[in-house]
Amino acid sequence: MTPRVRIAPSPTGNLHIGTARTAIFNWLFARHHWGQFILRIEDTDLERSRPEYTENIKSGLTWLGLNWDEGPFLQTQRFDLYCQGIQTLLDKGFAYRCYCTPEELEKMREEQKANNQAPRYDNRHRHLTEAECQKFESEGKKPVIRFIIDDNREIVWNDLIRNKVTWRGKDLGGDMAITRIPQLEGESFGQPLYNLAVVVDDLDMKITHVIRGEDHIANTAKQILLYEALGKTVPDFAHTPLILNQEGGKLSKRDGASSIDDFRKMGFLPDALANYIMLLGWTPPDSTKEIFTLSEAAKEFSLERVNKAGAKFDWGKLDWINSQYLHQIPASELVELAFPYWKEAGYEVNLESDRPWLEQLAALIVPSLTRLTDVIKESRLLFGNTLSYSNEALEQLRKEGVKDIIQAVVDNLANYPQLSEDNVKEIIRQVTVDFKIKKGLIMRSLRAGLMGELHGPDLIKSWFLLHQKGWDIIRLKESLSQI
Ligand code: GLU
């Protein structure tokens, strides 16, 4: 049987990088084995779940290039199935009704705390008689359903990343609530809770491998007991390491970005981000190779090569990978990606009529780009007919003889109604000869006059771009007035 895996995010926030990494590992695993990748939205927490987060998760996964084979399944639409599971556990004697009120539970916790004990439910209603239950009911108390956890059990599984994991039943917090208190009159039990819903779903969806973050390890121990109680085969488990910040803590918004949307807005390309994320914990067989598309990585992916230790987030490496992808992008495509940024920066360009010009511009700046957002900084000197001058540029312009040089260039330009890059070179050569000056002087002076700064993209190409808009003459004349 081919593997069936899933990503099961809770829509209580935008798609987080940790969830995206889990999704990528599941996707790679599924694609490597020609299996199925399923999307399940775990929206049982009605207070915190929002449809817009579900949309954000779906669009974020799609943007990264992760397509799912089944779903999205919404847990809120599957309550009947969970109720059947709960009823089975009750019928088999693996679960019972507990009438403890939230106040009683709180008191229990306080006492445990005062005695330096770990908080746990003390299983006090595990053996209620039918008459005792009736009494609570007649007092108007509503029960939660609890699943019996044997304190003496050792739960052991062979984790596909962490090898043998052992968990003691007594460390699982006592008999586990698998429902909330019923809210509606006549309901036999309240809303199903996370661990129960996950197990029922994973069974129903025939999930063979549960690959998820190591923060779920204690849940896995509980879930294995649920599988056993339901008399079903336990899937394989693989717990991925956490993504850590530079200080070794969990990566959060405070580290600069944490949701996939944040990274998109910062100018990372989806393929590059997916590439970087897959390397957070996975070491490819040839560890010197770092650039992988998702499909390339799928061919080589295995859980054996996922590390146990936490994966440190490294902005420098993400930038490097992003630049590798950006530098490969053809100018025609870069124009599409850069256009919104140019627009936002207020540059007056038209995607249709300016396309050839924009493509030349894109080709000129692409080697300098690390993030897509850099298109603004790298192209800002090439838009418009007005300039502001850096002090360095003004100094250059005011050097002796520079005014005449620029004037000569302006005069020469009049001879070329249709200027080519070669003509530009010819004008520079001519002025160099006429004034008997070094080429460096004219280049620096022209850069100051044309760009207002002494550093920037290739001067000849920049000039040629400005010329097509008629901005070179205007700028050079303006620079003369600064001298
Ligand atoms: N809904 C859980 C979460 O967002 C994931 C559950 C699972 O993968 O089993 O953390």
pLDDT tens by residue, the chain, 483 residues:
899 999 999 999 999 999 999 999 999 999 999 999 999 999 998 899 999 999 999 999 999 999 999 999 999 999 999 999 999 999 999 999 999 999 999 999 999 999 999 999 999 999 999 999 999 999 999 999 999 999 999 999 999 999 999 999 999 999 999 999 988 887 888 999 999 999 999 999 999 999 999 999 999 999 999 999 998 899 999 999 999 998 888 887 788 888 999 999 999 999 999 999 999 999 999 989 999 999 999 999 999 999 999 999 999 999 999 999 999 999 999 999 999 999 999 998 899 999 999 999 999 999 999 999 999 999 999 999 888 999 999 999 999 999 999 999 999 998 887 888 899 999 999 999 999 999 999 999 999 999 999 999 999 999 999 999 999 999 999 999 998
Report which ligand 1 atom has the smallest distance to the Cα of 212: 8
Q: Exposed, middle or buried by CB within 10 Å (0-12, 13-18, 19+), for 269?
A: buried
Which CATH architecture does the domain made up of 80-194 adopt? Alpha-Beta Complex (3.90)
- List active site positions: 253
Residue ranges of the chain that CATH labels 3.90.800.10: 80-194
Question: What pLDDT sits at residue 415?
Answer: 87
Report which ligand 1 atom has the smallest distance to the Cα of 194: 1
The tokens describing 427, both together, are 């004008």
- How far apart CA 433 and CA 438 sit, in angstroms, is 9
Residue ranges of the chain that CATH labels 1.10.8.70: 331-382
- List pLDDT tens digits, range 188-223: 889 999 999 999 999 999 999 999 999 999 999 999
User: Domain 1-72+241-328 - what CATH class?
Assistant: alpha beta
Mean confidence (pLDDT) of the chain: 95
Residue ranges of the chain that CATH labels 1.10.10.350: 391-480
Candidates 468, 359, 476; CA nearest to 421 is 468
Residue ranges of the chain that CATH labels 3.40.50.620: 1-72+241-328
Query: Whose CA is closest to atom 6 on ligand 1?
Result: 8
- DSSP strand pairing (154-159 vs 163-168): antiparallel
Question: What pLDDT sits at residue 249?
Answer: 87
Question: What pLDDT sits at residue 255?
Answer: 83
Q: Which residues line ligand 1 (CB under 6 A)?
A: 8-10, 42, 198, 212, 216
- How far apart CA 15 and CA 52 sit, in angstroms, is 11
Contact 167, 217 (CB under 8 A): yes
Question: What pLDDT sits at residue 226?
Answer: 98
Give phi and psi for 165, each to the nearest 5. Answer: -120, 130
The tokens describing 272, both together, are 């590059």
- DSSP strand pairing (70-74 vs 95-98): unpaired
Q: Measured in angstroms, how far is the CA atom of residue 318 from the centroid of ligand 1?
A: 26
Query: Whose CA is closest to atom 3 on ligand 1?
Result: 9
Q: Measured in angstroms, how far is the CA atom of residue 180 from the centroid of ligand 1?
A: 18
The tokens describing 139, both together, are 């007092």
Q: Measured in angstroms, how far is the CA atom of residue 10 from the centroid of ligand 1?
A: 7
CATH 1.10.10.10 fits 391-480, yes or no: no
- How far apart CA 407 and CA 293 sit, in angstroms, is 53
- How far apart CA 271 and CA 149 sit, in angstroms, is 45
| pTM given for the model | 0.92
Q: State the number of CA atoms in the 13 A half-sphere of 438 facing the CB.
A: 3
Looking up tokens 């917090």 gives 173
Q: What percent of the chain has pLDDT over 90?
A: 90
- How far apart CA 136 and CA 151 sit, in angstroms, is 27
Question: What pLDDT sits at residue 435?
Answer: 94
The CATH number corresponding to 331-382 among 1.10.1740.10, 1.10.8.70, 3.30.70.141, 2.30.110.20 equals 1.10.8.70
- How far apart CA 427 and CA 415 sit, in angstroms, is 10
Report which ligand 1 atom has the smallest distance to the Cα of 215: 10
Question: What pLDDT sits at residue 210?
Answer: 98
Q: Measured in angstroms, how far is the CA atom of residue 212 from the centroid of ligand 1?
A: 7
Question: What pLDDT sits at residue 361?
Answer: 97
- List pLDDT tens digits, range 339-379: 999 999 999 889 999 999 999 999 999 999 999 999 999 99
